[in-house]
Homo-oligomer: A and B are copies of this chain.
């Protein structure tokens, strides 16, 4: 054998650090370099326990099978405190993991002050600020109430919310109605025009959609979004097709149940002018899907990724409702004219629930047009999706990606693979100005902090040690 090695010509394969490879290269030896890094965060021991365990694999399969079997339907639009159990006037829900007023970012504070004005709890900003910081208002993550909200994600008692029913596993989820672009509460704006628009949504838009959806007996969301994936949407940063398809579905019933021509027209015009409308439905649908995969003992599948503008937090199917949080990251992307990275708030919003459910950044291959919005090329979009297959458990056959020859989108992030390969989930997202009320200043791509995955991995390894 040794003999043979010296008689034949060498072709070396170098795994990991390039020191050896560089030396061979200098000597003209044919060489294949394999990128490799040790797992993140000294996780060899935890990975040793978890990677080999068939119980984890089985639990993950179950989690993802349940996610794929979920059938979310939007059935109604109702004021939050009428439908979200435990919701009350002095409770505000927010995006991301738990956070105190003191640590909240600018856009989240701005949105909270706006919500207090909207609810009539405060008459002016000063009074709102006193209440918000003075312990009179309770704060909790939307996720603790099966709700999700984009950017600041504030839900207050009288805001109309979509009601999503998932009959297979019996869950209900909620999301606010999308406010459109420009000056909006979710980016921390709270001027009178912002509040006035919210009141119109409460008075006109919410009830109109509610009447239409009830007449229709609800609308199943996965088949609708499956069509939108064939039409250039990825369900996070691009929802143009899904919004048009949703509008098309509800329009006849909106007309049939409308109070007046003027109201119905104003609702149709609002939807026509808001290509992001479906985002909030995409989020609530994704929340129902990920809930179906949550709480499977020993599963290492991520069932929540959410950001409050200060911290990024994840939750894992087999680790109950515990959050694993670390500082939120800056978003890499394109800025609107006049803005730069200095203006940007760190990553914010519950919208990364879409990636948790296998769409958004994970389905970017379906949305080549999005790269003109966030930078890059259609090939990058395809590459991002292909990468995500390496850290996911399943492929969602209902969500087919045309440019990948109708392969199902990658679904079910496995914290073991994220840590082992140092390969973080990719998230498409908007960029908020760090000051309240300025609004969106760009869009791009962000990856969660690795620490969340390392910490949850260690906990899961401890769990499995105990069983």
Contacts and interface: CB of A to CB of B under 8 A. Distances in A.
Interface of A: 227, 230-232, 240-241, 244-245, 247-249, 251-252, 255-256, 258, 261, 264-265, 268-269, 271-272, 368-369, 372, 377-379, 402-403, 405-406
A379 to B, nearest CB: 8
B231 A406 contact: no
B405 A403 contact: no
A433 to B, nearest CB: 28
Nearest to A228: B231
Copies in the assembly, this chain: 2
A252 B265 contact: yes
A377 B405 contact: yes
23 contacts: A231-B232, A231-B241, A232-B232, A232-B241, A244-B244, A244-B247, A247-B248, A247-B251, A248-B248, A248-B271, A249-B272, A251-B251, A251-B272, A252-B268, A252-B269, A252-B272, A255-B264, A255-B268, A256-B265, A258-B261, A368-B403, A378-B403, A403-B403
Contacts of A372: 406
Chain A interface helix/strand/loop/mixed: helix
A248 B272 contact: yes
A362 to B, nearest CB: 18
Contacts of A272: 248-249, 251-252
Contacts of A406: 372, 378
Contacts of A240: 227, 231
The 5 closest A-B pairs by CB, nearest first: A368-B402, A244-B244, A231-B231, A230-B369, A252-B268
A231 B234 CA distance: 11
Contacts of A230: 232, 369
A372 to B, nearest CB: 7
A259 to B, nearest CB: 12
A230 B378 CA distance: 12
A233 to B, nearest CB: 8
A366 to B, nearest CB: 9
A244 B255 contact: no
A118 B255 CA distance: 31
Contact of A405 (B378, B402, B405): B378
A267 to B, nearest CB: 9
A244 B248 contact: yes
Contacts of A264: 255
A180 to B, nearest CB: 15
Nearest to A367: B402
A368 B232 CA distance: 11
Contacts of A244: 241, 244-245, 247-248
Contacts of A255: 255, 258, 261, 264-265, 268
A368 B400 CA distance: 11
Nearest to A371: B402
A402 B368 CA distance: 6
Given A252-B265, A252-B268, A403-B403, 8 more contacts: A230-B232, A231-B232, A231-B240, A232-B402, A244-B248, A248-B248, A256-B261, A378-B402
Contacts of A232: 230-232, 241, 402
Contacts of A245: 244
Given A231-B240, A232-B230, A241-B231, A369 B252 contact: no
A265 to B, nearest CB: 5
Contacts of A248: 244, 247-248, 271-272
A244 B258 CA distance: 21
A378 B368 CA distance: 14
A461 B251 CA distance: 56
